[in-house]
Amino acid sequence: MAEIESGVMNYQALTKPHPDIESFKGQIRILTIKQNEGCNKINCQLKIINVNIKLTILYTTIL
């Protein structure tokens, strides 16, 4: 879930230029408040067995 949230923040906050760090922090604060007020559920499609299979495939190809 954290990866999804950071991806959304990255897309929404970093697509526009900010003149200074304070305006960037303000934008992140606003987006965080909006996300928290929405209380949207995340529909995770991954099951534990699928994650284990994907990790096994990933790590065997890396090693």
Span 23-31, mean pLDDT? Answer: 85
User: What is the domain extent for residue 32?
Assistant: 2-62
Q: What tokens does 34 get?
A: 């909006």
Would you place residue 27 in the very low, low, confident or very high pLDDT band (cuts 50, 70, 90)?
Answer: confident
Cα 16 off chain centre by: 18
Report in angstroms the alpha-carbon separations of 28 from 1, 16, 31, 60: 17, 12, 5, 38
Residue with the two structure tokens 């495939």: 57
Number of independent structural domains in the chain: 1
pLDDT in tens, 33-48: 887 787 667 666 767 7
- Tell me the longest C-alpha to C-alpha distance in the chain: 46
Q: Would you state the structure tokens that stand for residue 37, as one six-digit string? A: 């007020």
Task: Please report which confidence band the pLDDT of residue 62 belongs to, taking 50, 70 and 90 as the band edges.
Answer: low
